Chains A and B, each alone.
Chain A
Amino acid sequence: MIDLVQTLGSGILVGLVYALLGLCIVIIFKASEAFNFAIGEFLILGSFLFYVLFFNETLPWHRALPLGALIFLFFSYVLFFDISARFLIALPSGLVTGFLIFCVLFFGLNLPSLVPSPLLRFIIAFPLGLLAAGIVGSMVERITIKPLLGRSPISMTIVTLGLGFFLRGCIQLIWGSHAYPFFLDLPDITIEMGDFLFLSDPIWAGILSLLTFGLVIVFLFRTRWGLAIRATSEDQAKAMAFGINARFILLIVWAISALCIAVAGIMISNFGALQVGMGFVGLRAIPVVLIGGMDSIGGALVGGVIVGMCEALAGAYLEPMGLIGFKDVAPYILLLIVLFIRPYGLFGTVRIERV
């Protein structure tokens, strides 16, 4: 019994991280009906952006400068075309932002010397890293997804496949393919009672994932922008008729999604190390959303916890019986069972299409 509780507990903690990954897929799917296959690459990218700030990992000028220039172009473009700012405001604002990004990448924030406490450093670097991930997410949306608006969602989905390869190449070019040490040194909240042992890092991962999940829900259901996002998700054309800038909403959705993926990436990296090869973790979101329902936010939470528990149970009870590697397969078997019973997932909207 103790073993079972221990296993389920560990599974739930990891499952909450998976749930966050699932949420990222769901909100993009709801907004554009596309599936983001580049989730793994966003996960690594977000983690690296946080890494740059938290560990003061600087880049040589020939890598930092193009990135700064890209930020300048992007900011100027968004300010001028999307927010309709004046040219004389958009251009200098973009220039300043690009220059700041270049400085951060080239010189570093130098947080370790300014803030000796790891917790305080984390509190500063975490939102900044997530902001950076959000900006990159919106940049990617502008360059790759926006031109496809109005076309079939399948074309967007296929673009994300290519995008994954492109982003992976870029990450390798900038940071290489070797592993980076990742120690957040958050306060130790390990729970040890008799035979029960829950390590600090997974508990932090669970807490922060849940917190991020909650914040996204509050944003979606308690803010005007959230309302606009939900309206756009329901019907893009109608939302536009009511004066909602659906294109800008899509940009926000991608930014939020990239931000949440970064939280999951940072937490998973903290279990071990950060490496471009760990992008496969993002694909754990596939069984999560298909079990929970592609368009259900609550379903993502339930799906994530189910997948986490399923993996943990398979690893603890089935693999020792000789079913080696079953841990990786078990969520997909469960997925097949769920799809046989409920083709739209546990909480997915049942769609009836008349032909």
Chain B
Amino acid sequence: MKQRAFLVFASILAMVFFLVGPISAKEIKTLSQFPMSGPVGSLPEFGWGFIDGMNWVNNEGGGVNGKKIKWFLEDFRYNPTVEVANFSKYTAEHPPDELLMATGYITGGLKPLIEKVNKEQKIPWLDGSYSTEIFGAEGGPSKYPYYYSLGATYGDQIKVLMRWIKENHKGKGKPRVAFVYSPTAWGRDGTPEGIAYAKKLGFDVVAEIEYPYTATSATNECMQLRKAKAQYVIYHGYSGATSYTAIFFKTLKKIIPKAQLMGTHYTTGRFPVLVAQEAFDGYIGVATRPFSDPVPRAKYPKDNAMVKLAHEFAQKYRPEEYKKGLKGGIKDMFLYMEGLTYAFMLQKALTDADNAGELTREGVKKALDNMVWDFKGMFGGKTFSYKSHTIPMLQIFKAKVKMVKMGDKMVPTGGVYPITDWINTDEIKW
């Protein structure tokens, strides 16, 4: 009898081990891709922030309820083809119950992956693109259920600027608004929505100009704006870190100094302070993240928990790069913080799914859809919901740049500083 009972007990135990064994051996895997090199510019900061963030998540951060995340990082060199190829490779190599999340960075990669991500693989995908076409009214969760963006759409960004103009326009007559945008999918994304909204608000849209990245001069464009008597110039679809932006800002400031220059997320930041200097002074723009990196760097806003955390991380894990700054180090802390943001986002979504007892792609999707979070205090303590599949938080900033003498050189100091509270675009009735 005892022998039989022992055999039954041993068999049950063996079966439990047999079944539980493979389940417990299952790994949690994620794939992330950042533009860390390539023609657009060498931006390794994304990767540095992500690597430091994931190492922290797996060690001090406790992983996913104690389980470590096996994370893969690829440099897609700002090339959508590489982004798509990497994704195909990883989904072929790793089973769907292990590879639970993926992240990307550009609209150019999102579009060719629509079918593969949303219908074939059904894998939650976080992206740095703020495409109105994908995440706006005509796209969104109903059309692309597995795509998630890390910021409000460009359309919403421009519309928020329009609202600011409406509230702050001084002077007689309707505001005279001009749109300058890049002849790219990025520049054209959100601009029609912005123009339609400006007209809805009763503004005069006096010019629509496509200004190319290959420009050597912006005189003609700025003369057109002057002729059109533009009071507000919306500059969209450009990086703030480039020579063409410096050309435009410098020329505009000389030709129509009274016009209010305004812009969207990727123009608002640290780079124009360094590159366009005083021509950037007075610029008003929206950003989906808190400004984290003034010039000099030591004066960063310490009242924002996430910004403080990012600086502490960088100082702890990348002291050399933090110190070097523009000379081969962390050029803009936003880039580093963005990498860190992805790492925390992955941990949060996977942990929420695990807590719900559904650590699968579907479980992660549910966790993201139900997420209500303040993102480690990033938005001044305000929480956001991920129902719209975009982090709908925006803030309007104004640039203050002053040239000061440092040693023998005149150097720019300043940055962009908030002039509004955080705005939740999901709560706005357009």
Which B residues touch A328, using CB under 8 A?
212, 214
Q: Other CB < 8 Å A-B pairs besides A177-B41, A199-B254, 9 of them?
A: A7-B223, A110-B408, A113-B408, A176-B327, A178-B271, A178-B331, A199-B251, A271-B250, A273-B243
B220 lies within 8 A of A312 (CB): yes
A275 lies within 8 A of B242 (CB): yes
A194 CB to nearest chain B CB (Å): 13
The CA of A19 and the CA of B220, in the complex, are separated in Å by 20
The CA of A5 and the CA of B210, in the complex, are separated in Å by 22
Query: Per a CB cutoff under 8 Å, which of B210, B242, B254 touches A273?
Result: B242
Per-residue CB contact flags for chain A residues 38-56 toward chain B (1 = under 8 Å, else 0) read 0000000000000000011
Which A residues touch B408, using CB under 8 A?
56, 110, 112-113
Which B residues touch A315, using CB under 8 A?
220-221
The CA of A56 and the CA of B255, in the complex, are separated in Å by 30
Query: Which bracket fits the contact residues of B?
Result: 35 or more
Closest B residue by C-beta to A185: B410
Known interface pairs A112-B408, A272-B247, A273-B275. Does A190 touch B42 (Cβ–Cβ under 8 Å)? no
Which B residues touch A112, using CB under 8 A?
408-409
B216 at the interface (CB under 8 A from A): yes
Which A residues touch B276, using CB under 8 A?
181, 273
Which A residues touch B217, using CB under 8 A?
10, 14, 202, 271
| Cβ-Cβ contact count across A and B, 8 Å cutoff | 109
Known interface pairs A172-B42, A181-B274, A181-B276. Does A14 touch B212 (Cβ–Cβ under 8 Å)? no
A197 lies within 8 A of B255 (CB): yes
The CA of A113 and the CA of B276, in the complex, are separated in Å by 23
A131 CB to nearest chain B CB (Å): 23
Which A residues touch B248, using CB under 8 A?
272
Binds B, one of A276-284, A285-293, A345-353: A276-284
B275 lies within 8 A of A180 (CB): yes
A269 lies within 8 A of B214 (CB): no
B57 at the interface (CB under 8 A from A): no
Closest A residue by C-beta to B221: A315
The CA of A327 and the CA of B214, in the complex, are separated in Å by 10
B246 at the interface (CB under 8 A from A): yes
The CA of A315 and the CA of B215, in the complex, are separated in Å by 11
Per-residue CB contact flags for chain B residues 402-430 toward chain A (1 = under 8 Å, else 0) read 00000111001000000000000000000
A178 lies within 8 A of B326 (CB): yes
In the complex, chain B residues 80-105 whose Cβ is within 8 Å of any chain A Cβ: none
Per-residue CB contact flags for chain B residues 173-215 toward chain A (1 = under 8 Å, else 0) read 0000000000100000000000000000000000001101010
The CA of A291 and the CA of B195, in the complex, are separated in Å by 41
The CA of A184 and the CA of B412, in the complex, are separated in Å by 15
A199 lies within 8 A of B41 (CB): no
Per-residue CB contact flags for chain A residues 240-282 toward chain B (1 = under 8 Å, else 0) read 0000000000000000000000000000110111110110110
B327 CB to nearest chain A CB (Å): 7
B219 at the interface (CB under 8 A from A): yes
Could you list some 19 contacts between A and B, CB below 8 A?
A10-B217, A14-B216, A55-B409, A176-B42, A176-B328, A177-B41, A178-B41, A178-B331, A179-B242, A181-B276, A271-B218, A272-B243, A272-B244, A272-B245, A277-B39, A280-B214, A281-B216, A316-B223, A324-B183
The CA of A187 and the CA of B276, in the complex, are separated in Å by 19
A261 CB to nearest chain B CB (Å): 14
In the complex, chain A residues 286-330 whose Cβ is within 8 Å of any chain B Cβ: 312, 315-316, 319-320, 324-325, 327-328
The CA of A176 and the CA of B326, in the complex, are separated in Å by 9
B242 lies within 8 A of A277 (CB): yes
B204 CB to nearest chain A CB (Å): 17
Which B residues touch A319, using CB under 8 A?
209-210
Q: Which of B183, B214, B219, B409 has the most CB of A within 10 A?
A: B219
B395 at the interface (CB under 8 A from A): no
B251 lies within 8 A of A271 (CB): yes
Which B residues touch A199, using CB under 8 A?
219, 251, 254-255
Query: Per a CB cutoff under 8 Å, which of B224, B247, B407, B412 touches A320?
Result: B224
Closest A residue by C-beta to B327: A176
Which A residues touch B286, using CB under 8 A?
none
In the complex, chain B residues 236-273 whose Cβ is within 8 Å of any chain A Cβ: 241-248, 250-251, 254-255, 271
